[in-house]
Structure 1
Amino acid sequence: MKESSLFRYAVVGLLFTMLAFSCDSEGVINPTPTPTPTPANERFLVVGDSGTILVSDDSGATFQAVTSGTTATLRGAAADADGHCVAVGAGGTVLYSADSGDTWHAGSCATTNTIDRVICYGSGKFVAVGEATGPDPYGIFRSTDGGQNWDRYAVTVTLRGIGARSDSQFVAVGNVSSLNDSALYLTYTTGASWTLYSAPSANFPAGAGWLYDAVGTSGGYFVAVGSDGSLYSADGGTWSAGGAVIGKLTAASWCASSSRLVAVGYGSGGGVSKGRIYYASSLGTTWTEVNPGTIKFLFDVADDGNGGLVAVGAAGEVLYSPPPADVHDAGSLWYDGVSGVANELYGVCHVP
């Protein structure tokens, strides 16, 4: 090939690269928007202020409201593969559904504390965590009957999130309310007994901050996210610092099909405070930011097991990321969903 031809191809390649990507004011590289894809038919469940419960049967593109029977703020949701769903929230509110989220009933959970998050670890089995404050020291709750009845466990810290790496090992993460320090409880026995690890100690890196969520990833690792980025651990007891991010990470989801962590949050950078989305490998040691196309803060994210994701946040914000053509690119492209509401949306889960 002639030298002039090589030059021509190099110029064309450079132009293609310039056209295919753009940068925002913070230098975050974003693919040029592509046409909105045809949604898949996965069900997602979203909860929020004033007893809001929304369901989507097109993978987060559109949502419909269902009756919750409460006006309490709902902060977290989880579901199993047999139609059991649970929503938790303010004042010890627990709701359960046996039909994949279409109808809801009040569960029995003897607490008045806010319950922030809940996860499923088997058919009809759920663990939830919340704020142990005042005369009510209970911050961990467990149900084995689809969310109807709950056992409770006393703790000494405020818990914000919970993750699992199997059906018998969990970490519940949060903070020591009087200090800017992280704390977590670890269990090896299906949620029935818990051991406290708290910062500052040899188990935590300095300046770990408050922790808001945790997930189990490949290789048996846990990753926790919070006010100062992320931590990772091979055993749930000793933790190392993960990669740095702008702002705080409020939630994370492990996309097993893509071997990728996706986290959401919000924070200031480049002169603007906005919602933020990042992805990383299984340890979270290096985070890459993706522009979500919104300035609204983001509070939670969930995946469908096939690389599709939904994120929710302030003022009715819903974003969805369809399963990518290359499975390793999960969470790289995001589109606006239609929630039909304007209130805060705090929790989202996939309904298998």
Structure 2
Amino acid sequence: MSEPVMGVGTCRPPALRKFALLATALSLLGCAVLSAPVLAAAAPASDVVYSVESAKASKSLMLDVVHAGKRLVAVGDRGHILYSDDQGATWTQAKVPTRQLLTSVYFVDDKHGWAVGHDAQILASEDGGVTWTKQFEDLKRESPLLDVWFQDANSGFAVGAYGALLATTDGGKNWEDASDRLDNEDQYHLNGIAAIKDAGLFIVGEQGSMFRSADWGQTWEKLEGPYEGSLFGVIGTAQPNTLLVYGLRGNLFRSTDFGSTWEPVELKAARGALEFGLSGATLLDDGSIVIVGNGGSVIRSDDNGETFSVFNRPDRISVAAVTDAGNGNLILAGQGGVRVTSPTGAGAENGKNGSSK
């Protein structure tokens, strides 16, 4: 599956990325080279367009779901941001100053969080996802940010299409274009960024591109990875220096030395090797790892990623992200919205919309 190209001009064919597993999201992505300068500038208040309130928001396309303390926060299509305080049973739609597709969200504590998406937009919340402000956008880029990570309430990074790497040291009041810190002359899309225990930061992207930073983002080293196809995400395990990267056609690799060497992880489904793309992952409190993807794929490891059990949901929905519900169940986000499932990913109950803020 390839992405449609909108607009005119010459550009190299874009590759699949995390949300590219979902056909609905693909049609929203254009093809334009990122501009270089980055200055934090939100739209004037009088020009702000808010996401449309919808009773069906919890059943619309959602691309990420995380915890803000005990609260759940999910982001997705049309600027929708939802939050739940009852383990995913009901969801409240937040008032959000955008109608663009949001691709990723990250909270450093129960209050401070950031969401990123199309038009290189970065939104911020200081109240656990109830209200949001637009910190940054760059309409000239015409391309999305795809992941975000913060070390604390001040220092963070956002990554995205065409090699975008943005950095802040003041909680997002100002964002700096830090793309030149990476050896990425081909401007490969950067799909995921994550912290690895006792090691540093790791970025993965298009064409199997990999970068690591032992000083938490100040300098980066380009690595030769084990795979030449697109990688959609990276997650650290509970063990020091140990991480997993995942991408197209069920490709999953494990490293115990911060990316210096890699071993493939075999994934066997009921009818043979898993061949669906993998798009999102979470590390549970007990050290278990859950990774989700296309075809209703939900895979789980209880040994720090050495082996995985594979479950494919009968509905074969495309799943973009996963987190724990807080009671042993899982929350899946993707095609058809947010769902509460059993710890294996089986069963499904769409959360109900509550009030809107």
TM-score normalised over the length of structure 1: 0.69
Identity %: 27
Distance in 2 (CA, whole Å) between partners of 1:265 and 1:117 is: 16
1:190 alignment partner in structure 2: 216
Q: Classify the secondary structure of the residue corresponding to 1:50.
A: helix
Q: Tell whether the 8 Å contact from 1:258 to 1:307 is kept in structure 2 after alignment.
A: no
CA 1:82–1:54 in 2, change beyond 3 Å: closer, same or farther? Answer: closer
Q: Tell whether the 8 Å contact from 1:106 to 1:148 is kept in structure 2 after alignment.
A: no
For structure 1, the 5+ residue unaligned runs are 1-40, 133-137, 177-181, 199-203, 267-273, 323-329, 342-352
Report the AA paired with residue 191 of structure 2: R
Note if 1:153 corresponds to 2:178. yes
Q: Tell whether the 8 Å contact from 1:319 to 1:334 is kept in structure 2 after alignment.
A: no
- Deviation of 1:94 (Å): 0.6
Note if 1:230 corresponds to 2:252. yes
- Deviation of 1:283 (Å): 4.4
Note if 1:314 corresponds to 2:343. no
Equivalent residues, number? 269
**Cα distance per residue 1:210-237 (max 9 Å; x no partner):** 2111111022201111113211112223
Distance in 1 (CA, whole Å) between partners of 2:135 and 2:291 is: 30
- Deviation of 1:79 (Å): 0.6
For structure 2, the 5+ residue unaligned runs are 1-68, 268-273
1:1-352 alignment to 2 at 5 Å? 42-108=70-136, 112=141, 113-132=143-162, 138-154=163-179, 155=184, 156-166=187-197, 169-176=200-207, 182-198=208-224, 204-205=225-226, 207=227, 209-220=229-240, 221-227=242-248, 228-234=250-256, 235-244=258-267, 245-255=274-284, 257-266=285-294, 274-292=295-313, 294-303=315-324, 307=328, 309-316=330-337, 318-321=338-341, 330-331=343-344, 334-338=347-351, 340=353
Distance in 2 (CA, whole Å) between partners of 1:233 and 1:300 is: 22
Distance in 2 (CA, whole Å) between partners of 1:120 and 1:321 is: 28
Q: Classify the secondary structure of the residue corresponding to 2:104.
A: strand
Q: Tell whether the 8 Å contact from 1:242 to 1:283 is kept in structure 2 after alignment.
A: no
Distance in 1 (CA, whole Å) between partners of 2:276 and 2:328 is: 25
Distance in 2 (CA, whole Å) between partners of 1:55 and 1:45 is: 4
Q: Tell whether the 8 Å contact from 2:301 to 2:308 is kept in structure 1 after alignment.
A: yes
Distance in 1 (CA, whole Å) between partners of 2:156 and 2:328 is: 24
The structure with the largest strand share of the pair is: 1
**Rg larger in 1 or in 2?**
1
